[in-house]
Structure formats: C-alpha cells, structure tokens
Structure 1
Amino acid sequence: MDLFSKGKSKANPEKIKQIKNWIYQVFEIDEQIIISLNQLQCTEPGCPPLETVIVIMDESRQPYKIHKSIAEIEREDILKLQQR
C-alpha cells in the first residue's frame, strides 16, 4: 500500500526557484547548500491531499512540511517555518 506518493501535477520550475530563494533569504543560508522540495500526495484519512516537504541539506537536515502544493506556497509560509 502506497500511503505517500508524489503529486501527479508537475510544479512550475520558476515557482520552485522562487521558493528556494525565499528559503535562502529567510533562513540566511549559503546558496551552495542544497534545498530539496518534494510535493507529496497523502491518502491516509485526515491528511491534507497535498503537502510540500522541504529539506535544507545542511548538518541538521530537518524536514519542514507545508500543507499546501508548491504552487500555493507564499513567502509568508516560509517565514512561519523559521519561527518554529
């Protein structure tokens, strides 16, 4: 049973670039550090239909989840992640 699968719709490359730029700015990290964005579809009850998982590939590699598709993410969502 595949509970999590990648969302079927492809994210706009320009939107992905914009989100990564927001992450670099908000978290004040070196642009040489890789950022991974994965849009996932959840089929478990109570799960949002799509979520985006962000991993900053530094020492911590802490995953951040935003319960929105990549297309719906705004700068304010990234600011909220930093406040955690």
Structure 2
Amino acid sequence: MALFGLGRSARPPANDGPRRRVEAWVRPAAGLDEADVVKVNEILCPDPACPGFETVILIMRPGERTRALKVPKPIAAVTQADVADALTG
C-alpha cells in the first residue's frame, strides 16, 4: 500500500558533509554555544537577480530574533572566509 508513503522505501540521505562543515565554521565565528541552533540550507532563488543557488544560514539564539545570513553560492562552494564575511556584513 503506497497511501501516505506506506510501503515505499525512504529517500536516501543527502550528502550532509558540506552543510555540517559550514555549520562548524559558523558556531565559533559567531560565538555560539550548545543552546544556540544553526541551520544551513541551499536554496534555488527564482528571482532573475539572484545568483541561482545560494546558501542560507539561520542562527537562532534563545530570547533573540533569528538572524539570517546569505552566501550567494551553493553549500559545497562556501568557504570559511565566506562565512566570516556573511557574519560581518
């Protein structure tokens, strides 16, 4: 039975390495601790003015507004310098 996804195999996990690498650079650069949450995602921007794929970094700290950073390139191409620039920009 394929109703509601039953009986189908799950999708294979995505390559998580680049996302985890970027997250590992964000934590110390932003002075975050274990209570803080970092989410890193790659999106395809439909706006013609966008570079195509971009990396969005969300920093969520208890009691504070979520901070969103954008790097105009795919996750796999993001460097530690890109993360530092996004944090200061």
TM-score between both structures, scaled by the size of structure 1: 0.78
In the alignment, which of 37, 61, 76 is matched to residue 71 of structure 1? 76
Where relative contact order (Cα < 8 A, 6+ residues apart) is larger, the structure is 1
1:1-84 maps to which residues of 2 (within 5 A)? Answer: 12-58=15-61, 59-84=64-89
Runs of 4+ residues deviating >3 angstroms: none
- Count of residues in Structure 1 that have an aligned counterpart in Structure 2: 75
Larger C-alpha radius of gyration, 1 or 2?
Answer: 2
Match of 1:47, SS?
coil
Asked if structure 2 preserves the Cα contact closer than 8 Å seen for 1:11 and 1:70, the reply is: no
Q: 1:11 to 1:25 in 2, by over 3 A?
A: farther
TM-score between both structures, scaled by the size of structure 2: 0.74
Mind listing any 5+ residue stretches in structure 1 that lack a counterpart?
Answer: 1-9
Mind listing any 5+ residue stretches in structure 2 that lack a counterpart?
Answer: 1-12
